C-alpha cells in the first residue's frame, strides 16, 4: 500500500473480503440443499409441461440458467415459442 492510500476514503477491497462474500453465498445455498432435495430439475419439467399445455413447443429448445446471488438468485427458463407460421395456440382459442 502506498502512502497515498492513507488519504483515500475507502480501502481497496481485499481478497479476504471476496473470500468471505463468496463463502456466504455458496453456503447459504448449500445449507438449503441439505434439508431439501434439489427441486430445480422438477421445477423445470413442470414449468415446461404447463407451457406445453398451451403452446406447442420443441422440448429441445428449452434453456435453463441459474445465477446464485447473495440477496437474490435468478432462475431463467427460456422457451422458444413457434412463430405465427407455426402451430396454433390452443389456450387463446378457448375463450
Partner 1 sequence: MAEVIVVTSGKGGVGKTTSSAAFATGLAQRGKKVVVIDFDVGLRNLDLIMGVERRVVFDIVNVIQGEARLNQALIRDKRVDTLQILPASQTRDKDALTKEGVGQIIEELAKDNDYILCDSPAGIEKGALLALYFADQAIVVTNPEVSSVRDSDRILGVLQSKSKRAEDRKEPVKEHLLVTRYDPVRVEKGEMLKLDDIREILAIPLLGVIPESESVLRASNTGTPVVMDAESVAGQAYKDAVGRFLGDKVEHRFLEAQKKGLFSRLFGGRAA
The binder of partner 1 chosen from 5, 8, 20, 75 (CB under 8 A): 20
Q: Does 37 bind partner 1 (CB under 8 A)?
A: no
C-alpha cell of 3? 502512502
Question: With CB under 8 A as the contact rule, which of the stretches 14-22, 40-48, 58-66, 75-83 interacts with partner 1?
Answer: 14-22
Q: Which residues of 1-30 are buried (b: 16+ CB within 10 A; e: fewer)?
A: eeeeeeeeeeeeeeeeeeeeeeeeeeeeee
Residue 45: CB atoms within 10 A of its CB come to 11
The binder of partner 1 chosen from 5, 8, 17, 88 (CB under 8 A): 17
Q: How many residues bind partner 1 (CB under 8 A)?
A: 15
CA distance 49 to 52: 5
In the complex, the residues that contact partner 1 under the rule CB under 8 A are: 11, 14-17, 19-20, 22-24, 26-27, 30-31, 34
Amino acid at each position: 500500500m502506498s502512502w497515498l492510500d492513507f488519504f483515500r476514503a475507502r480501502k481497496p477491497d481485499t481478497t479476504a473480503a471476496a473470500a468471505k462474500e463468496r463463502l456466504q453465498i455458496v453456503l447459504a445455498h448449500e445449507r438449503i440443499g441439505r434439508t431439501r432435495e434439489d427441486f430445480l430439475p422438477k421445477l423445470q419439467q413442470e414449468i415446461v409441461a404447463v407451457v406445453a399445455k398451451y403452446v406447442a413447443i420443441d422440448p429441445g429448445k428449452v434453456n435453463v440458467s441459474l445465477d446464485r446471488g447473495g440477496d437474490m438468485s435468478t432462475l431463467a427458463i427460456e422457451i422458444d415459442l413457434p412463430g405465427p407460421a407455426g402451430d396454433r395456440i390452443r389456450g387463446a382459442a378457448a375463450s
